[in-house]
């Protein structure tokens, strides 16, 4: 098996295709653990993982915690309301204080893009990104890759539509980085107010004028959450109009290839990004994404610890 040479996982942009192949292959192996009666292996016994979540999160934090515990690592959860950040401590000082307690990995979510690079310069332990601002969400990107590969057996040559608020989406950036490196072609759609400049330069990316164009004959349709807390008041008239032009429903889903996958990073605003018929429908892989999330995060924690078995 190839060697994983990164101490940190901060962005899929920093990983090669081979790095991602290795993580996905490991995640496939980890999946077996998750289906056992006793879902625990001693792989990371004696390791300490700090989940440092400066932003609200349920599924990602829980998923990382379950992943760590299934590998027998000890986990500590820190959130803003209980951390010294409320007393004005800088991220760097928080990190140095945590480091003094000798953790092996800090898993962090932070509202500022690039905060993990800042953290990684300060600490000697591994840093794993659980989402930074509008930059990247590499574990989500990898679990999306794994879920798509489960369905098609490959990632190259697929048409993947990503619809919604691309500008503010760290999921979109990680998906674009991951999928284009693996040979997929990305088609983006969303209101022009939510489409960042020159996004097509990120890789094999086409910006579409309409949602129809993006999802026409798509193998995969990834719908993004409208992040109402980030929108301000100038990016769209209201949720109703957004839903009409950029919402996925059984009718426009027919434009995609028969049996096309529908995905969403969650949490879903039902009736806005996707109708409940689609969310609950046979083409939805939303819960499969969540399931794969644990395996992918186990693989990430395993490899940043050096990939050594206890």
Partner 1 sequence: MNLLIKNGRVIDPSQGLDEIADVLVEAGLVKEIGKNLKAPAGVETVDAAGKYVVPGLVDMHVHLRDPGLEYKEDIVSGTRAAAAGGFTSLACMPNTKPAIDNKAVVSYIINKATTDGFCNVFPVGCITYGMGGERMAEMGELKEAGCVAVSDDGRPVANAELMRRALEYARGIGILVISHAEDLALVGEGVMNEGFTSTELGLKGIPRVAEDIATARDVMLAEYTNSPLHIAHVSTKGSVRIIREAKARGVKVTCETAPHYFTLTDDAVRGYDTNAKMNPPLREADDVAAVKEGLRDGTIDCIATDHAPHHLDEKDVEFNAALNGIIGLETSLPLSLKLVGDGILTINQLIEKMSCNPSKILGISRGSLRVGGVADVTVIDPAAEWTVETEKLVSKSRNTPFAGWKMKGAAACTIRGGAVVFSR
Q: Is residue 110 within 8 Å of 56, Cβ to Cβ?
A: no
Instruction: Specify the DSSP class assigned to residue 309.
Output: -
- Catalytic, out of 5, 82, 86, 87: 87
Q: Which is nearer to partner 1, 200 or 213 (CB)?
A: 200
Q: List the one residue out of 165, 218, 221, 162 whose CA is nearest residue 191.
A: 165
> Which lies closer to partner 1 via its Cβ, residue 123 or residue 202?
202
133 is a contact residue toward partner 1 (CB under 8 A): yes
Contacts of 168 (CB under 8 A, 6+ apart): 134, 194, 227, 230, 231
CB of 125 to partner 1, least distance (A): 18
Secondary structure (DSSP) of 135-167: TB-HHHHHHHHHHHHHHHS--TT-EEEEES--T
Residues 109, 135, 149, 297: which is the catalytic one?
109
Chain-centroid distance of CA 308 in Å reads 25
CA 119 to chain CA mean position, Å: 19
Contact pick of 160, 199, 278, 304 for partner 1 (by CB under 8 A): 199
Q: Active site includes 102?
A: no
d(CA 281, CA 13): 33
Q: Which of 43, 48, 60, 180 is catalytic?
A: 60
Contact residue for partner 1 among 16, 29, 84, 90 (CB under 8 A):
90
Residues 230, 185 contacting (CB under 8 angstroms): no
Q: CA–CA separation, 215 vs 41, rounded Å?
A: 41
Residue linked to tokens 């990632």: 155
Is 80 or 114 the residue whose CB approaches partner 1 more closely? 114
Told to judge if 60 belongs to the known catalytic residues of this protein, a careful annotator would answer yes
Q: Is residue 206 close enough to count as binding partner 1 by CB under 8 A?
A: no
Here's the x/- map for partner 1, 147-176, by CB under 8 A: it reads as --------------------x--x--x---
- 3-class DSSP state of 16: coil
Count of residues touching partner 1 (by CB under 8 A): 27
- Residues from 30 through 59 that contact partner 1 (CB under 8 A): none
Residue 240 falls in the annotated catalytic set: no
Binding-site members are 59-60, 87, 109, 137, 140, 170, 225, 266-267
Binding-site members for carbamoyl phosphate are 59-60, 109, 137, 140, 266-267
- Residues designated catalytic: 59-60, 87, 109, 137
Q: Which residues bind partner 1 (CB under 8 A)?
A: 13, 90-92, 110-115, 117-118, 132-136, 167, 170, 173, 196-199, 201-202, 232
Binding-site members for L-aspartate are 87, 170, 225
């Amino acid at each position: 098996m190839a060697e994983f040479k990164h101490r940190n996982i901060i962005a899929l942009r920093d990983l090669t295709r081979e790095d991602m192949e290795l993580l996905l292959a490991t995640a496939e192996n980890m999946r077996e653990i998750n289906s056992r009666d006793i879902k625990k292996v001693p792989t990371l016994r004696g390791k300490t993982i700090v989940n440092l979540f400066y932003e609200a999160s349920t599924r990602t934090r829980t998923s990382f915690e379950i992943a760590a515990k299934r590998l027998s690592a000890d986990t500590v959860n820190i959130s803003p309301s209980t951390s010294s950040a409320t007393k004005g401590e800088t991220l760097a000082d928080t990190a140095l204080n945590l480091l003094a307690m000798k953790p092996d990995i800090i898993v962090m979510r932070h509202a500022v893009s690039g905060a993990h690079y800042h953290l990684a310069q300060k600490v000697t332990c591994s840093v794993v990104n659980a989402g930074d601002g509008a930059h990247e969400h590499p574990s989500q990107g990898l679990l999306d890759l794994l879920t798509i590969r489960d369905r098609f057996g490959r990632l190259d040559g697929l048409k993947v539509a990503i619809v919604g608020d691309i500008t503010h989406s760290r999921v979109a950036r990680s998906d674009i980085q991951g999928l284009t490196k693996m040979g997929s072609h990305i088609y983006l759609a969303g209101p022009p107010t939510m489409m960042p400049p020159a996004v097509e330069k990120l890789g094999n990316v086409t910006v579409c004028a309409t949602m129809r164009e993006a999802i026409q004959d798509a193998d995969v349709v990834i719908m993004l959450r409208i992040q109402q807390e980030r929108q301000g008041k100038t990016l769209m008239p209201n949720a109703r109009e957004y839903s009409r032009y950029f919402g996925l429903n059984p009718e426009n889903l027919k434009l995609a290839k028969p049996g096309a996958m529908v995905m969403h990073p969650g949490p879903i605003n039902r009736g806005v990004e996707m109708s409940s018929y689609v969310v609950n429908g046979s083409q939805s892989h939303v819960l499969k994404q969540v399931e794969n999330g644990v395996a992918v995060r186990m693989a990430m924690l395993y490899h940043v610890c050096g990939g050594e078995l206890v």
